[in-house]
Amino acid sequence: MNLFLVPLLPIAAGAVVVLAGDRSRAVLGSAAAAVLAGTLALSVVAALSNWSGGYAWAPGIALRAGLTPLSGAVLVLVPLIALPVLVFAAAHEARQGLGRLVGLLLVFTGGMHLLVAADDLLTLLIGWELVGACSWALIGHHWRDPANPRSATYAFVTTRIGDLGLFAALLAAWNGAGSLDYAALERLDGLHLALVAWGVLIAAAAKAGQVPFAPWLFRAMAGPSSVSALLHAAAMVAAGAYLVARLHPQIADAPGFAVGAMTIGIATALAGGLVAVLQGHAKKLLAASTSAHLGLMFLAVGTGYPGVAMLHLIAHAAFKAPLFLAAGIAGEKAGSYEMHRMRLGRALPALALAAGVAAAALAGVPPLGAAWTKEEVVKAAGHAAPWLAMLAIVAGGLSAAYATRFQLLAFGRDGEGGRGRMRRGELWPIAGLAALTVVLGLLWLPGMQGPVEKSLGATLPAGKAWEIVLSLIVVALGLLAGREMARLPLKYHWGPGAAWLGLPVLIDRAVVRPFTESADAAGRFDDRWLDGLPRGAVRAVFGLADSLAGLDRSAVDGGVRAVRRLTEWAARVAARIGEAVTDGLPEGAGRLAGIAGADARRLQTGLSHHYYALMAAGLAAMAALLAMGG
């Protein structure tokens, strides 16, 4: 079977849903669930059967789809997370524009599928750009609030700056290998390989919200909760970590790639953890935690263990989606996303329980699967350098602190208010994702390493005992620190630390504002010159046409009317003269002939001397004429 069928199903279905407009929640939820259940089934079969696909784009260029064990696992992960998220969206999000939202989420999912299934840089770029365009539309979904489109534009422009790296990688690959296929990248060396590797790394870092691109994740929180959940768990942000892991075999030997990936990863893991610890806004705390955990994935790729990165990506998706959905409900229930105003443990106990499971996974508490994958990252870092393992352990401690603080503030049991009610379509998706988080705890079972390595086609690192012991101790300390921080007044959470150390201001002034001002200037230039000149020419043509029309009315039409009047006058004159001439000439000739005949008859007297006299007169006349002529 053709692997392109997997992404085409949600893309086509999403387009239909968008065009169909708003429908009832039940219809939209059922349609989304059916489409994604079908997509999940196709993904499982495709991964197990190793489907592939191809489409000839142009001579020498083809769109190709193919799977490795790693990409097959992510192909299954995307609809597995998207299905409950879209069911939640249909049940929970505002009715206005709900059809468009669900449809765009389906297209978003399909774009991520295309990106994952890609086996060449051109197909990757198409999926990459589709995901980016959908994220812009989804973040700005509530466009009637002017702040939301501005936030969407900020996020879009920031990630687009990084996307230039992917374009550079594509051009370098074509120039160096004469092909865009992933397999052809193995033939690159020197400058071409470096350009491809660093172009991919920069593009992936921007998409994954790594330093210095991280602040766009905060602006993306303007979107609905379901958008944040899918964007952070299994699409868009996850695409960055997936890309560096997928292309690791081809670009790992590029000069500086490993060091660059490790540096970006550990710097973001620590900075994101610090920002999350200081943050008082529930969704922004979770956004910073996403940045931090994707930093751990970049770290694992840089140390040479892309399989570890993808395992942590899977575990992260399972716990991050329910946390965002739970935060969305809590924020709406409390009327604010400021966590100290929530404390909804008594009002929403079932939601608090599900969120607690996910928060424990975020904290890295055994025996949950996310704790196991985080420890694998620590072991991978230890293979590169002991001090790098120490930094990863510190990042894990920060994660435990902000996860605890989030849970105690958002779902603590000391809040006011009675028990709230939730729709089934809101609670069950969150509970299902929390259950998936628990199931991943099977990774802790002895003997699981072999099957995991075989299924992913990857090697897992062998760790040292001190790394695991120290990591678990730091996690416990982080839990205690988070509990204490939850008791403190949150007067400081708007400080520079919580705002990414001033990076948002820098990016706004250095990137976003120049871009928007340039766009405005280009728009004015376009209106004045590119559109103004044609408009002026059109006005001139219409003016000339009006003048010619006036000339036509006054001269041509006037001349025609004058000729008509002259012709009519000539006809009347001709009628009168013609009657006189045509009748008068014959009558006059007849009368003249009659007169001449009468006179001639008078000359015929019958007397001969009369005839001789006439002859003599005639001869005399002739002689006179001859004399004058001589």
Structure letter (DSSP) for residue 255? T
Using alpha carbons only, give the angle 282, 286, 103 rounded to the nearest 5 degrees.
Answer: 95
Condensed to tens digits (0 to 9), the pLDDT of residues 37-90 reads: 999 999 999 999 999 999 888 887 889 999 999 999 999 999 999 999 999 999
Whole-number pLDDT of residue 589: 46
Q: Is residue 620 one of the residues assigned to a domain?
A: no
Other CB atoms within 10 A of residue 50 CB: 12
| Co-location of 547 and 418 in the same domain | no
| Co-location of 382 and 331 in the same domain | yes
Residue 172 CB contacts under 8 Å (≥ 6 apart), including other chains: 188, 191, 192, 195, 196, 199
H-helix segments, 93-189 = 98-117, 121-139, 147-177
Whole-number pLDDT of residue 75: 97
Q: Which of the four pLDDT bands, split at 50, 70 and 90, describes residue 575?
A: low
Burial annotation 417-441 (CB, 10 A radius, 16+ → b, else e): eeeeebeebbbbbbbbbbebbbebb
Q: d(Cα 23, Cα 343) in Å, to the nearest integer? A: 34
| Co-location of 454 and 341 in the same domain | yes
* pLDDT for 627 beyond 60: no
Residue 149 CB contacts under 8 Å (≥ 6 apart), including other chains: 140, 143
What SS3 class is residue 281?
strand
Count of domains forming the chain: 2
Q: Is residue 218 one of the residues assigned to a domain?
A: no
For 464, left (φ over 0), alpha (ψ -120 to 50), or beta?
A: beta
- Do the strands 53-58 and 61-65 form a parallel or antiparallel pair, or are they unpaired? antiparallel
| Co-location of 548 and 442 in the same domain | no
| Co-location of 513 and 538 in the same domain | yes
Q: Is residue 216 one of the residues assigned to a domain?
A: no
- What letter represents residue 410's amino acid? A
Q: Is residue 63 one of the residues assigned to a domain?
A: no
What SS3 class is residue 364?
coil
Condensed to tens digits (0 to 9), the pLDDT of residues 325-338 reads: 999 999 998 888 99
**Residue 120 C-alpha from the chain's centroid:** 20
Whole-number pLDDT of residue 541: 57
Distances (CA, A) of 235 to 82, 139, 159, 329, 531: 9, 13, 14, 21, 39
What are residue 281's DSSP bridge partners?
338
Whole-number pLDDT of residue 21: 84
| Mean pLDDT, range 440-446, rounded to an integer | 92
Q: d(Cα 246, Cα 260) in Å, to the nearest integer? A: 17
| Co-location of 445 and 338 in the same domain | yes
Condensed to tens digits (0 to 9), the pLDDT of residues 89-102 reads: 999 998 889 999 99
| Co-location of 400 and 515 in the same domain | no
Q: Which of the four pLDDT bands, split at 50, 70 and 90, describes residue 596?
A: very low
| Co-location of 370 and 484 in the same domain | yes
Other CB atoms within 10 A of residue 12 CB: 14
- Give the whole-number percent of the chain exceeding pLDDT 70: 77
Q: Which tokens is 40 given? A: 């999940």
| Co-location of 429 and 544 in the same domain | no
Other CB atoms within 10 A of residue 61 CB: 14
Whole-number pLDDT of residue 447: 86
- What letter represents residue 189's amino acid? D
Q: What's the start-to-end Cα distance of the chain, in Å?
A: 127
Q: d(Cα 515, Cα 295) in Å, to the nearest integer? A: 28
Q: Is residue 467 one of the residues assigned to a domain?
A: yes
- What letter represents residue 434's amino acid? A
Out of 440, 460, 488, pick the residue that ends a domain. 488
Q: Which of the four pLDDT bands, split at 50, 70 and 90, describes residue 553?
A: low
**Nearest in space to 237 (alpha carbons), one of 262, 272, 277, 270:** 272
Q: d(Cα 295, Cα 398) in Å, to the nearest integer? A: 13
Residue 499 CB contacts under 8 Å (≥ 6 apart), including other chains: 215, 275, 505
Q: Is residue 387 one of the residues assigned to a domain?
A: yes
Note whether 169 and 132 are within 8 A (CB): no
Mean pLDDT of the chain: 85
Q: Which tokens is 47 given? A: 């991964």
Condensed to tens digits (0 to 9), the pLDDT of residues 381-409 reads: 999 999 999 999 999 999 999 999 999 99
H-helix segments, 279-385 = 282-302, 306-334, 349-363, 369-384
* pLDDT for 523 beyond 80: no
Other CB atoms within 10 A of residue 27 CB: 15
Whole-number pLDDT of residue 545: 57
**Domain limits at 543?**
505-554
Residue 386 CB contacts under 8 Å (≥ 6 apart), including other chains: none
Q: d(Cα 398, Cα 362) in Å, to the nearest integer? A: 10
Q: d(Cα 328, Cα 359) in Å, to the nearest integer? A: 15
Distances (CA, A) of 435 to 231, 239, 581: 20, 24, 120
| Co-location of 483 and 335 in the same domain | yes
Q: d(Cα 61, Cα 55) in Å, to the nearest integer? A: 9
Out of 496, 530, 554, pick the residue that ends a domain. 554
Whole-number pLDDT of residue 626: 58
Whole-number pLDDT of residue 146: 87
Whole-number pLDDT of residue 341: 87
Q: d(Cα 542, Cα 239) in Å, to the nearest integer? A: 54
Q: Is residue 525 one of the residues assigned to a domain?
A: yes
| Co-location of 336 and 460 in the same domain | yes
| Mean pLDDT, range 207-214, rounded to an integer | 92
Using alpha carbons only, give the angle 513, 516, 519 rounded to the nearest 5 degrees.
Answer: 145
Whole-number pLDDT of residue 492: 45
Note whether 273 and 485 are within 8 A (CB): no
Q: Which of the four pLDDT bands, split at 50, 70 and 90, describes residue 205?
A: very high
**What's the pTM?**
0.80
**Residue 527 C-alpha from the chain's centroid:** 26
Q: Is residue 94 one of the residues assigned to a domain?
A: no
| Co-location of 477 and 336 in the same domain | yes
Note whether 374 and 452 are within 8 A (CB): no
Q: Which tokens is 590 given? A: 């007849």
